[in-house]
Structure 1
């Protein structure tokens, strides 16, 4: 299957302009043969930070939408009409506040999952978001067939438990909408998450000058015929573009049946401290 990772600028604080750009990018992705398109973090608001003054914060909060609102509805219709699965991102309003969210839309235009960022950057302005409470994979129908997808968002990538939880729930592909500077260490994190879980991991990031691009896909097939294999499928530069990457699902699934990584040799009884938390 072909992934299209959106590495394009968004308009800060302008959901309608970002909708226009987003729908055009979906059309471009389909024209390039994509089966799935993934947007960077908080595409709807252009990852606009929360203002510090009361009036500005209220205007910012008023940008929030919901899964049933027209903004998401337009992406659902685009997915249905194009036959394209879409992972789009937005600021979600709900009963307990606001969330940093991603909607997983299948090629029939159905929302099959809404993921809410668990590891919000509460050391920055993202403290206004309510953290999500789960990591769960969903089965997504694409033109290339059904695929088990998990979602993490940006800082989730820096917590290894996030991808491990999704892998244990059967994720074959983990997508990561992102809004940060992807240094070599962070690219290394993505590669490691793919390697250690025998799962493909894709990141969609904003381009220069705001962020530095480097959208990427690692397919997790790190060994071939008992020899190390470079499982880098795509690693972009900083330019604005659609990053296209082809994922061989048949080969990945075959690899996972015999992999020594992932869940094959875990010893969960020894990991109890991971669920007990640590002092901050």
Structure 2
């Protein structure tokens, strides 16, 4: 029976010391391997611990607002990324990534490594999936950056959702990725399902309250996907979670929950039965079989109507 284990690395929020993060990340990966993991999944932007010089979440710092909400409000601009993000961006071919590639080969375990990626212009928020042979087989840059507010307005967004075939001890698995805010758009998981994904890895860095967790569960349900999310530990954070995508069994409706962590730091294995998932996908009605794409034209229209219009203080809309 092909059983696949994804270790959710729910780690303490790190600082932006690259060497310290490399060491702590290696220790977490070794713990994951000891627990039988096939894949170790980091929380979002591990290379610098998602640390910023600009507080996140203050609505007064929103870069884009409804036009009516700029009345009497102070202009908000986007600083240069070097004034926003702590820690230097690292390239996909950097010693930092190469270290984890060597570790993946040593441990015979895939690693989904996250980092502030060096890029032409502003950096990207990226995850690279390294297979158990130490080969980089997929890099996903966050498409839905939180461009409404600094600090993520100072990032280059990704442009697509791709998948790869990952060689594991359980056999080949088709894997995709989305990062944090990506999962709040149904199109992200839907695009990955259409690209053949069976498993979606999701690095995260925010509070995971019930609504977001239920939303993530819905992504698994509607696409018949296994999904795994790793978040940072800490009060109000944590709750790294995985769902197996199988909403119904012989006895009727089932929960789909594989594992949900609390708020404490730890490594949490999520065990997926790939044979059962594949059988479920062959016989059930969600996913792709009964979609009606000709009815969905509005999904690819770039125009934005009320009440969703957002502009900068200069009246410029966000890029789409």
The bucket for the TM-score relative to the shorter chain is over 0.9
- Asked if the contact 1:217/1:245 (under 8 Å) is kept, the reply is yes
**Structure 1 regions of 5+ residues with no counterpart?**
none
SS at match of 1:97: coil
Report what 1:13 is aligned to: 16
The one-character-per-residue Cα deviations of 1:101-154 (angstroms, maximum 9, x if unpaired) are 000110000000110000001122101101100011111112222111110000
Q: Which has the higher contact order (CA 8 A, sep 6+)?
A: 2
Quote the Cα distance in structure 2 between the aligned partners of 1:203 and 1:55: 30
Report what 1:152 is aligned to: 178
1:275 maps onto 2:300 in alignment: yes
- Asked if the contact 2:228/2:270 (under 8 Å) is kept, the reply is no
Report what 2:35 is aligned to: 32
Report what 2:49 is aligned to: 46
- Asked if the contact 2:81/2:122 (under 8 Å) is kept, the reply is no
SS at match of 1:91: strand
SS at match of 2:52: coil
Report what 1:259 is aligned to: 284
Identify which of 128, 142, 148 aligns with 1:117. 142
Alpha-carbon RMSD across the aligned residues, in angstroms, is 1.8
- Asked if the contact 2:16/2:87 (under 8 Å) is kept, the reply is no
Quote the Cα distance in structure 1 between the aligned partners of 2:214 and 2:244: 13
TM-score in terms of structure 1 length = 0.95
**Structure 2 regions of 5+ residues with no counterpart?**
56-77, 310-320
TM-score in terms of structure 2 length = 0.84
The one-character-per-residue Cα deviations of 1:186-206 (angstroms, maximum 9, x if unpaired) are 000111000000001111001
How is 1:225-236 mapped onto 2 (pairs within 5 angstroms)?
Answer: 225=250, 227-236=252-261
The one-character-per-residue Cα deviations of 1:222-266 (angstroms, maximum 9, x if unpaired) are 111261111101111111110111100111111111120000110
SS at match of 2:296: helix
Report what 1:246 is aligned to: 271
Quote the Cα distance in structure 1 between the aligned partners of 2:108 and 2:9: 18
Higher deviation after alignment, 158-167 or 46-55: 46-55
Report what 2:73 is aligned to: none
SS at match of 2:123: strand
Report what 2:129 is aligned to: 104
- Asked if the contact 1:107/1:143 (under 8 Å) is kept, the reply is no
Identify which of 152, 160, 165 aligns with 1:126. 152
- Asked if the contact 1:176/1:202 (under 8 Å) is kept, the reply is yes
How is 1:203-214 mapped onto 2 (pairs within 5 angstroms)?
Answer: 203-209=229-235, 211-214=236-239
Report what 2:227 is aligned to: 201
SS at match of 1:188: helix
1:186 maps onto 2:220 in alignment: no
1:66 maps onto 2:69 in alignment: no
Find the structure with the greater CA-based Rg: 2
